Chains A and B, each alone.
Chain A
Amino acid sequence: MAANQLVLASVKDVPLDDVIAVHVAGHDLALYNVDGKFYASKNVCNHGNARLSDGFLDGDVIECPLHGGCFNVVSGEPCAPPVTHPMVTYSVDVVDGLVVLSAPEELERENV
């Protein structure tokens, strides 16, 4: 594993078809397990004061627990109102049973 990779979680800590919250390097991330593939995004919904890890993951769509906005967790694209902007996503890899950030510099991405 490259020295600058950040570990998000052990693969077995992210239940199948579910989402968990992960704190890494001062950032609050949502980590999704869609049919055995892993995806990560900023955890706080870009619309309001809610955490996506508290939402319902339906296939590859996460629904915000307060306002009902939905994002596709693979592309980050919004797919139900009131959200109108893509969520910030992060590339992840699985290395030796761990989910790691492939490009930690992506943590600096901000909501648009």
Chain B
Amino acid sequence: MSNERHLVIVGTGVAGTSAALSARAIDSDIKITLIGAEPHLPYDRTHLSKQQLAPNADLTKSLLTPGIKFEQLNIDIRTGVKVVGVEPTKRTILLESSDRISYSSLILATGSIVRPIPPGWGVIQDEHLHCIRVAEDSIRLRSALRSAKKIVVIGSGLIGLEVAASARERGIDVTVIGTGSRILTRSSDPLTAKQIENIHRDRGVSFRLGVSVDNIRRLASGELAVSLTNNSVLIADDVVVGIGVLPNDGLARASGIGVNNGINVNSFGQTNYPDIFAAGEVASFTTSNNRPPFRLESWRHAQDHGHLVGANSVTNEMREYKENSSFWSDQFQHRIQGVGVIPEEPHEVIVRSYDDGAHLSIFIGRDNRLLAVVGVDCSKDISAVGRLVGHRVNCSAMTLADKNQPLGSMVKSILKSIKQEEKRNV
């Protein structure tokens, strides 16, 4: 075993890439190897359900770090390389090629895999049945959308709706199926969800909500027939499935690294082996209050967590992860954004609406703590209120809801008083 300091990062998504850059920024000497199973340079996965579905899309326009030359940063990036094992006691990883690489620190940033299509649905291997996770999925769907006249989207979350909007903008007939009584059950409150649903309906997207898929079969015509649990059948040229993701934690599990709905990490990003870290969507956090471990699925979390864990992996002065999760989604000409996680426990929702239809919903917990904010076409307000997530706010609901009182200055004065209070308590 060599004594060389060597940071090995598995995964070239935003978490892994961000970890490599942040480690390099604070340690110019350590050897860094960034390994990705995909054959591409790191690209922005959030583009796959949006920009990459446009007729003239080009993957080189969706690179994660345009203008960054990994070799100039002395980061050895190895794409199209699959890691098949980790040997924590030997501090080596095993590649599919049977080569071994020694590390002094290892970061697993293996992200997510799409939730498999339930076997009960039938068929399931069909060139007109799509999921979206990697660049090749988008290329295949983009090509299908060139000739499709009607598609069915299974899943009414952000990915499903982004695909629906992209297809509808091409004039394709789109029906979205959702098992919930409303769309966006995880990421949005009922008001925000209704507004997004209306935006889609106004543009001609149809919805079948509160139903599930019973089976999918291929017709002699080549079309796909999607049978629903309410006995109706939808016929489509192509079917897109967006029913969520699972943590890609098989490598860790097989290697004896602690796993429970993702790779278990502490607040520094460390697994049960102190020199093995996990970052981004695959990392599973345990909170103190007896809740099941949770993961965060968003670009911003992957970047922020990757950045922190990358730094922690090369320093003795590790920092704890404290960032709030945030997300955005562009559909038609509208932007949905949110910061924080909509709580399951009882809370109050304060809504601020503007005359142009934009609005934001602010979630306040029982102890006056601001827990989350979600809204549509309110980027500036959400950027401001997002700063308050996790803090107690003592301004009245009426003030927050009053569209005539600028939120930015309100937030700044609240942040100021929070800082003063923190000083007093030190």
Cβ of B366 < 8 Å from any Cβ of A? no
Cβ of A24 < 8 Å from any Cβ of B? no
> When the two chains form their complex, are residues A65 and B383 in contact, meaning their CB atoms are under 8 A apart?
yes
Q: A56 with B383: in contact, given A68-B303, A82-B303 (CB under 8 Å)?
A: yes
Cβ of B346 < 8 Å from any Cβ of A? no
A30 vs B279: C-alpha distance when bound (angstroms): 34
Contacts of A112 in B (CB 8 A): 67
Contacts of B409 in A (CB 8 A): 15, 17-18
Contacts of A5 in B (CB 8 A): none
Cβ of A84 < 8 Å from any Cβ of B? yes
Question: By DSSP majority rule, is chain A's interface helix, strand, loop, or mixed?
Answer: loop
Residue of A nearest to B44 (CB): A48
Residue of B nearest to A111 (CB): B67
Contacts of B300 in A (CB 8 A): 66-68
> When the two chains form their complex, are residues A15 and B406 in contact, meaning their CB atoms are under 8 A apart?
yes
Question: By DSSP majority rule, is chain B's interface helix, strand, loop, or mixed?
Answer: helix
The B-contacting residues of A in range 1-47, CB under 8 angstroms, are: 15, 17-18
Count residues of B near A (Cβ-Cβ below 8 Å). 28
Chain B 388-426 near chain A by CB (<8 Å), digits 1 or 0: 000000000000000000101101100000000000000
The A-contacting residues of B in range 341-396, CB under 8 angstroms, are: 379-380, 382-384, 386-387
> When the two chains form their complex, are residues B384 and A56 in contact, meaning their CB atoms are under 8 A apart?
yes
Contacts of B384 in A (CB 8 A): 56
A66 vs B304: C-alpha distance when bound (angstroms): 12
Cβ of B175 < 8 Å from any Cβ of A? no
Interface size band for A: 20 to 34
Q: A55 with B383: in contact, given A68-B300, A84-B67, A84-B68 (CB under 8 Å)?
A: yes
CB distance from B421 to the nearest CB of A (A): 18
A18 vs B22: C-alpha distance when bound (angstroms): 30
Cβ of B337 < 8 Å from any Cβ of A? yes
A81 vs B18: C-alpha distance when bound (angstroms): 8
Residue of A nearest to B412 (CB): A17
> When the two chains form their complex, are residues B383 and A54 in contact, meaning their CB atoms are under 8 A apart?
yes
A112 vs B66: C-alpha distance when bound (angstroms): 11
Contacts of A54 in B (CB 8 A): 379-380, 383
A61 vs B114: C-alpha distance when bound (angstroms): 38
**From A50, A66, A81, contact of B21 by CB (8 A):** A81
Cβ of A89 < 8 Å from any Cβ of B? no
A43 vs B299: C-alpha distance when bound (angstroms): 22
CB distance from B388 to the nearest CB of A (A): 11
Cβ of B150 < 8 Å from any Cβ of A? no
A15 vs B328: C-alpha distance when bound (angstroms): 27
Q: A18 with B408: in contact, given A81-B18, A81-B307 (CB under 8 Å)?
A: yes
Contacts of A56 in B (CB 8 A): 383-384, 386-387, 408, 411
Q: Can you report 27 A-B residue pairs in the complex whose CB atoms are below 8 A from each other?
A: A15-B408, A18-B408, A18-B409, A49-B330, A51-B379, A55-B379, A56-B383, A56-B384, A56-B387, A56-B408, A57-B408, A65-B337, A65-B380, A65-B383, A66-B300, A66-B328, A67-B299, A67-B300, A67-B303, A68-B303, A68-B304, A81-B18, A81-B21, A82-B64, A82-B65, A85-B67, A112-B67
B residues whose Cβ falls under 8 Å from a Cβ of A: 18, 21-22, 64-65, 67-68, 299-300, 303-304, 307, 326, 328, 330, 337, 379-380, 382-384, 386-387, 406, 408-409, 411-412
